Every structure is written in structure tokens, then in C-alpha cells.
């Protein structure tokens, strides 16, 4: 039996998000999903440095994501496309520390 992925409603769109897809298809629904499911797992848990509220330039953020930096892994275009990364970088750059974007609570089966 084969299940068809159910497209969920678009979440809050951050920056220049690409077309909306259900992530079980392997394409980010938007920049917010990439942030929540990858970046935030380290950068909101204290594993990686706090990025919010620092007004980091988007170009700098993108450079670090593509090239990696010390313990920070490098992410190729196959893992995150330019449009999604643009959105993540913009979001991080404009974020404020007192208004954290918390990751969605884990869904229970």
C-alpha cells in the first residue's frame, strides 16, 4: 500500500520562500521549515552559537552555511537551495532575541 503525502497548509513564510511543498517530498516547504528542522536544532539548543538578535549580515550567514566554519558543517545546494537559504539568512539577520521563533512542538504519533 502506498500513501500519498498530504500537503499541509503553509506555515508562516519567512523571507523569500520558494514554492510550498510537503517536506515528505524532500523539498523544503519554506525557509521556516529549514530553520526549524535543521538550523534551530543546534542554534536554539546551545549546541551552536546563538544567532538571533545579532543583526548578522545575510551575506555572512550564507557564506558560513555554504562553506562551513570550524564545527559548523557546510551545506551544499542539494541540501538547501539558494532561495530557501536566502530566507533563512534574512530571518536570522532580522531576528530579535526577545521574540524567539521556537521550533514547533514535536508531534506525537
Name which of 67 and 96 has its Cβ closer to other proteins: 67
What gap in Å lies between CA 5 and CA 100, rounded to an integer?
Answer: 30
What gap in Å lies between CA 39 and CA 48, rounded to an integer?
Answer: 9
60 binds other proteins (CB under 8 A): no
106 binds other proteins (CB under 8 A): yes
101 binds other proteins (CB under 8 A): no
In the complex, least distance from residue 42 CB atom to other proteins, rounded to whole angstroms: 5
9 binds other proteins (CB under 8 A): no
Contact 86, 57 (CB under 8 A): no
- Among 20, 24, 2, smallest CA distance to 83 is for 20
| Near other proteins by CB under 8 A: residue from 55, 60, 68, 96 | 68
What gap in Å lies between CA 7 and CA 86, rounded to an integer?
Answer: 23
Binding site for other proteins (CB under 8 A): 1-3, 5-6, 8, 22-24, 26, 37-38, 41-42, 45-48, 66-79, 106-107, 109
Q: Which residues are catalytic?
A: 71-72
Amino acid at each position: 500500500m502506498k500513501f500519498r503525502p498530504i500537503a499541509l497548509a503553509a506555515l508562516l513564510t519567512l523571507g523569500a520562500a520558494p514554492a510550498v511543498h510537503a517536506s515528505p517530498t524532500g523539498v523544503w516547504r519554506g525557509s521556516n521549515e529549514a530553520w526549524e528542522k535543521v538550523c534551530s536544532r543546534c542554534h536554539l539548543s546551545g549546541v551552536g552559537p546563538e544567532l538571533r538578535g545579532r543583526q548578522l549580515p545575510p551575506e555572512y550567514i550564507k557564506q558560513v552555511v555554504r562553506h562551513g566554519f570550524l564545527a559548523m558543517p557546510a551545506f551544499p545546494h542539494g541540501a538547501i537551495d539558494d532561495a530557501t537559504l536566502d530566507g533563512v539568512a534574512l530571518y536570522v539577520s532580522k531576528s530579535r532575541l526577545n521574540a524567539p521563533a521556537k521550533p514547533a512542538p514535536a508531534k506525537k504519533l
